[in-house]
Amino acid sequence: YVERLDVVFGNDENDMPTDCIHAISGQNSNIDFQAGGKFIWLVPIYTTDVARAATSFDVLIQSYEDPKLNDLARRAGGDFRYVVPRADRKLSDKIVEVGILRSDKPLGRPPPGWHGYCVNDLNKGRRKGCLYVVWKSASTGSWYVLYTII
């Protein structure tokens, strides 16, 4: 299961990690594509612990830095941008795959074949196309099993 996403920075495309999440329609996987800054990728960190597995992700865009989080817009100026995992122990559906989606317009729902997405656009306020984190989930059945035992 996916626990969180790490942010990896590079100086050019050759620095792209082999295990980074990919754009789902063959688009560029660099988060900062066409922004003129650093090359930025998201790398999933996995866990076998169902309690730590992510059930969703939130995109936070704020004017102040949070030193506990990895800023996707590091040294670019402007707002600080973070992808924050949420792990709800009450939900049996856990994230197993993550992608990014570039779009010319805001999303109203996950793309076909994907189960969830961050409602907030990573590129909000940047005068670029929309950029979303999307995911697929699988049921662990753990909440149901726990509930029926009690």
The burial class, CB within 10 Å (0-12 / 13-18 / 19+), for 56 is buried
Output the pLDDT for position 146.
41
Q: Which domain covers residue 85, as residue numbers?
A: 2-149
The CA-CA-CA angle for residues 118, 120, 121, to 5°, reads 100
Cα separation, 43 vs 19, in Å, equals 6
Per-residue b/e over 65-85, b at no fewer than 16 CB within 10 Å?
A: eeeeebbbbeebeebbbbbbb
Residue 145 has pLDDT above 60, yes or no: no
Instruction: Specify whether the CB–CB gap between 133 and 59 falls below 8 A.
Output: yes
Cα separation, 65 vs 79, in Å, equals 8
Q: What is the pTM of this model?
A: 0.87
Structure tokens at 92: 């049996």
Number of domains in the chain: 1
> DSSP code of 89?
T
CB atoms within 10 A of CB 52: 17
Confidence of residue 150 (pLDDT cuts 50, 70, 90): very low
Output the pLDDT for position 144.
44
Q: Is 34 helix (H, G, I), strand (E, B) or coil?
A: coil
Q: What is the per-residue pLDDT across 77-135, written as a single tens digit (0 to 9) for each?
A: 678 999 999 999 889 999 999 999 999 899 999 999 999 999 999 888 877 789 999 99
CATH classification of the domain holding 60: 2.100.10
Q: What is the per-residue pLDDT across 42-52, written as a single tens digit (0 to 9) for each?
A: 999 999 999 99
